[in-house]
Amino acid sequence: MDKKVMVVDDDYSIRIAVKVLFESQGFEVFEADGGKECLGMLKNGFKGVIVMDIMMPEMDGCATVREIVDQGLFKGNAIFMLTAMDVPELKMQNLKGCVVGYIAKPFEPEELVNTVEGYFRHLQISSALEKNGCDTIFQSDTKIPTLAFMSTAPRLSQTTASHHQDVHD
């Protein structure tokens, strides 16, 4: 599995900064300037970690996540939110099980890379286990993704989160 990250943000300077950061770490980086472009890339087969802004015009990050789930494009991806919001719980309600975590802007580059690397490793392990008939989810009691075995699809429900925290059941 190639290391792929999709950066979804309407702010060009954020997309470029995150792109340069991840390319320096060996990731193949895809850019989307909004939710519709993100959905198009997913329909064309993108699999990897999606780093998505919450506040975007036309289709915000939360609406994009709902569309990803509704259109069956969630499998093989981990969605991680970037936000300039002080209290993202208000916008992230009903995303539990779909978004693995978030980080507030401005962010520390090392923290963002380490977090995304962890989610990417989880995707690699999940893919290998899935080939053997197992499903995985992100375990909720740590900031580093761990495995739990389930046979349920992502669902939309209420959640609360705090700065750079996994979003979970």
Residue 126: per-residue pLDDT = 78
What is the percent of the chain where pLDDT is above 70? 69
Residue 129 lies in a domain: yes
Q: Is 67 exposed, middle or buried (0-12, 13-18, 19+ CB in 10 A)?
A: middle
Answer whether residue 166 is part of any domain. no
CB-CB neighbours of 167 under 10 Å: 23
Count how many Cα atoms sit within 13 Å of the Cα of residue 97 in the half-sphere of its side chain. 13
Average per-residue pLDDT for the chain: 77
Q: How confident is the model at residue 85 (pLDDT cuts 50, 70, 90)?
A: low
What's the total number of domains in the chain?
1
Residue 165 lies in a domain: no
Predicted local confidence at residue 86, as pLDDT: 59
Q: What is the dihedral of CA 77, 114, 56, 7, to 10 degrees?
A: -60
Q: Is residue 70 part of a domain?
A: yes
Those residues whose C-beta lies under 8 Å from the C-beta of residue 28, and which sit 6 or more positions away, are: 2, 3, 4, 5
Bridge-based pairing of strands 78-83 and 99-104 is parallel
For residue 21, pLDDT beyond 50: yes
Least confident piece of the model among 73-77, 131-135, 147-151: 147-151
User: Predicted confidence band at 153 (pLDDT cuts at 50, 70, 90)?
Assistant: very low
> Tokens representing 33?
């300037």
Q: Give a yes or no: residue 108 inside a domain.
A: yes
CA distances from 14 to 17, 70, 100 (A): 5, 27, 20
Nearest to 32 by CA among 63, 11, 55, 62: 11
Is 157 part of any domain?
Answer: no
Q: Is the pLDDT of residue 156 over 70?
A: no
CATH number at residue 128: 3.40.50.2300
- CA pair distance 148, 158, nearest whole angstrom: 20
pLDDT digits over 99-123, tens only? 888 888 888 999 999 999 988 888 8
**What is the mean predicted confidence (pLDDT) over 127-147?**
53
Domain region containing 94:
4-149
What pLDDT, on the 0 to 100 scale, is given for residue 2?
83
Residue 58 lies in a domain: yes
Confidence (pLDDT) at 166: 47
Give the C-alpha separation, 140 to 148, whole Å.
9
